[in-house]
Amino acid sequence: MKKLLILGLATVGVTAHAQNLLKNPSYEEAGTSNDAAANWSRWGDWMNREDGWTPTHGGKCLVGYHHWEITSDQNSGMWQDVTTVKAGQKFKFSVFVSADTPEGGAHGTEKIELRLEAIRNGHEVTIESVTTPVADLQKGSGWHELSVTGTTPENNLRVLVVVTPASGTPRGGAVKIDDANLEPAK
C-alpha cells in the first residue's frame, strides 16, 4: 500500500510540473553571462540571475533585483515569449517573490507588476496586468505567490515581471523572484 501511495504522489508531481510552458522557470540555467537567465530577456538595471542568494524558493538560483544599487527612476524587468499557444486560450502566469525590508531609513522597492502581453502586428498589446505594492510583501515573511490570468488574442504570449524602484533615495533592500509558472487556466 505504501509503495502505491508513493508512486501515485510522484506521478501527480510530474504531471503538475509538465504543464509549465516556460523554459528555465527557476532560472537554474545561465544565459549569455552568469548573471542572465537562459530563455529570459531583461531590461533596466540590476535584474540579475543569482546563484549565491539564499534562501531560494526552489532550486539553487533566483532572479534578484538589487534595489540598493538603483540610481535611475526607470523600471527594470524580464520577459519570456511563448509561441506554443493558440488565440483564445486562457493562461495563469505566476512567480514567487520575497522582499527585504530596507534598513536605516532607506526607501524600499515601490511595486512589482506581472503582465501578460501578445504581439500583434509587431506591437505589444497588454492582455492583463496585476500590480502589487512591495510594502504588502514586506509585512509577511518568506515567499509570496503573485499571479495574473488572461486570454491571449494571438498565437503568442509574452509574460513579464516589471519592478519599479522607490521614488525617493536612499534606496535599500532587494526583491527576489523565483519559480515562474505559466499554465492553462480555466
CA distance readout (Å), 116 to 156, 157, 158, 180: 10, 7, 6, 13
Whole-number pLDDT of residue 12:
41
pLDDT at 60: 97
| CATH (domain of 45) | 2.60.120.260
CA 139 from chain center: how many Å? Answer: 20
Please report the pLDDT score of residue 140 as a whole number. 66
Here the cell at position 28 is 537554474
Helix (H, G, I), strand (E, B) or coil at 135: helix
Range of the domain at 37: 2-184
| Number of folded domains that form the chain | 1
- Asked if 128 and 118 touch (Cβ cutoff 8 Å), the reply is no
- Digit-by-digit pLDDT tens for the chain (186 residues) are 445 444 444 444 444 455 899 999 999 999 999 999 999 999 999 999 999 999 999 999 999 999 999 999 999 999 999 999 999 999 999 999 999 889 888 999 999 999 999 999 999 999 999 999 999 988 767 999 999 999 999 999 999 999 999 998 999 999 999 999 999 998
DSSP-derived 3-state class of residue 57: coil
